[in-house]
Amino acid sequence: MKVAEHWKQLLQGSGPDTVEKIQDTPESLIYNACRSFISQCNRTHEGDALSILQTAENLAEQILNHYGSLRQAAIALRAHSSPGERLPEPVFNTFLYATVREHETLTVMLDELHELSEGKGWREMSSMDSVLLEPRFHSTPRPTLWDDAGVMKYNPAAFNNVHGTSLRKETLAMYQEGVSGVSRLLSYYPQMDEQSRRIFDTLLVNQVYYSYLPDDDPVRRMLADKLDPVEDAKARIAGLFNDTLELRNEPGGPFLMRLEACFDFIGTLSPEQALSALEQLTDALVQMLDMGGSDLGNPVEPVACIIKVLHKATDHGYDILKALYPTFKYMVDQGELVERMFRSTTFGKKTTNSAKVVMEAVLLAVDEQKLLSLTIDKSVLSQIAQARGSDVLRKALLKSSTGRDIIFGQDLGL
């Protein structure tokens, strides 16, 4: 196939916007042809989408025909590439335009791009989203991985590099069919390479994790050998905080039901696995602390909800102060962390400020012996003891003269 006539004119030096004079080498000709094509595309926001795509496909086919492979083209065009580029940007972008729609050589082009990337993906692929979202291509049908008869047309890993959105959409449609759809998807695995199977494994297990399927769901059982119990547990912990408006301390309510189910599952893990999964709890609490004290909306007793989460976590060896301290490593020790939290907390005010909710919950839930092991000002410790109604902390304070004076003053309402 030949390059469209108007591109030939550009290459022959017509018009004021023409690129520099072409050198008499195939590489310069190809580079300038692609650069002229991309330049024209950038100047034309509307226009004939079919003509643009046909031209890109023709140019890409000519490059492959000339060099035999994209890898060989990359070697030959190295002088036109910037540091770190596998292909000169105009040539790469030409191939992206050549993969927008279904056509006879799309399989070859996807495989060549995949081969050049060595199966690892590459940063330039991120520009594919902007190409696919161009208004002039909105009505252009996107390629699909499977045809209407259920035949898999492309190498999924190669297809995913460019048309990941389509791959995920088709996968989700199968998953939503339940056992029959998942079974059909798995039946294609013998046709796939290892990288393609990993892509679908990841998509499937994440659907299981984050759709919170019951433990006895047949799809969960079907995919049991692919599920990682630690990642499964992390997803369940994340689910506790997905909607902060649901932080409602209501017996039989959705939050407490999720909480029980989450920690029932964590109870099936080894101690090491449980602690690894509970790193997700740290991430969730740090995020609430880092939200700049944003308002959670109107949850019912969010502090009480987080206290219950922390008590459950403590049963599995989770140390909340130890977990949070690296985020506040500029502080001297965990005792200073407690004092800083105390100074930012007003007990019992039913706050919905995200940071205050977490800090109050931590101070009311942290293990009492842990508090006593830290260096904390006794006046601070006494007020925490009072807020918690803790006899353990009160008795410990009474063992020192300073502590007795503070407790005596509290008892007198001073």
Asked which of 127-131, 177-181, 344-348 is least confident by mean pLDDT, the reply is 127-131
Does residue 144 belong to any structural domain of this protein?
no
Answer yes or no: do 235 and 371 share one domain.
Answer: yes
Answer yes or no: do 33 and 109 share one domain.
Answer: yes
CATH code of the domain containing 234: 1.25.40
Residue 134: both structure tokens together:
């161009």
Range of the domain at 114: 5-137
Does residue 196 belong to any structural domain of this protein?
yes
**Predicted TM-score (pTM) of this structure:** 0.80
Q: Let me know: does 222 contact 179? Beta carbons within 8 Å.
A: yes
Q: Is the pLDDT of residue 77 over 80?
A: yes
Does residue 275 belong to any structural domain of this protein?
yes
Answer yes or no: do 260 and 243 share one domain.
Answer: yes
CA contacts within 13 A on the Cβ side of 341: 30
Q: Is 349 exposed, middle or buried (0-12, 13-18, 19+ CB in 10 A)?
A: exposed
Structure confidence at residue 20 (pLDDT): 47
- For the chain, how many structural domains are there in total? 3
Q: Is the pLDDT of residue 121 over 60?
A: no
Q: List, for residues 46-70, the tens digit of each pLDDT value.
A: 568 888 999 999 999 999 999 999 9
Answer yes or no: do 197 and 302 share one domain.
Answer: no
Answer yes or no: do 217 and 324 share one domain.
Answer: no
Does residue 101 belong to any structural domain of this protein?
yes
Answer yes or no: do 247 and 286 share one domain.
Answer: yes
Answer yes or no: do 128 and 173 share one domain.
Answer: no
Structure confidence at residue 350 (pLDDT): 81
Asked which of 118-127, 130-139, 196-205, 401-410 is least confident by mean pLDDT, the reply is 118-127
Answer yes or no: do 372 and 234 share one domain.
Answer: yes
Residue 250: both structure tokens together:
């209501």
Answer yes or no: do 233 and 320 share one domain.
Answer: yes
Asked which of 8-17, 232-241, 318-327 is least confident by mean pLDDT, the reply is 8-17
Q: Is the pLDDT of residue 271 over 90?
A: yes
Answer yes or no: do 123 and 207 share one domain.
Answer: no
Does residue 408 belong to any structural domain of this protein?
no
CA atoms of 100 and 128, how far apart (whole Å): 9
CA atoms of 138 and 374, how far apart (whole Å): 62
Does residue 193 belong to any structural domain of this protein?
yes
Mean pLDDT of 168-175: 96
Q: Let me know: does 136 contact 47? Beta carbons within 8 Å.
A: yes
Structure confidence at residue 214 (pLDDT): 86
Does residue 62 belong to any structural domain of this protein?
yes
Which residue, 29, 143, 39, 124, is CA-closest to 84? 124
Q: Let me know: does 258 contact 239? Beta carbons within 8 Å.
A: yes
Answer yes or no: do 162 and 104 share one domain.
Answer: no
Of 209, 226, 243, which residue constitutes the final position of a domain? 226
CA atoms of 189 and 192, how far apart (whole Å): 5
- Report for 7-21, 243-257, 316-330, 397-411: range of highest mean pLDDT: 316-330
In the chain, the largest separation of any two C-alpha atoms, in whole Å, equals 98
Phi then psi dihedrals of residue 410, to 5 deg: -60, -45
Structure confidence at residue 337 (pLDDT): 93
Residue 196: both structure tokens together:
């393609």
Answer yes or no: do 39 and 131 share one domain.
Answer: yes
Alpha-carbon distances, residue 64 vs 74, 113, 216 (angstroms) = 11, 11, 52
Q: Is the pLDDT of residue 191 over 80?
A: yes
Q: What's the gap between Cα 119 and its chain centre?
A: 20
* pLDDT-based confidence at residue 301 (cuts at 50, 70, 90): confident
Task: Give the mean pLDDT of the chain.
Answer: 86
Does residue 407 belong to any structural domain of this protein?
no
Alpha-carbon distances, residue 74 vs 30, 31, 77 (angstroms) = 12, 11, 5
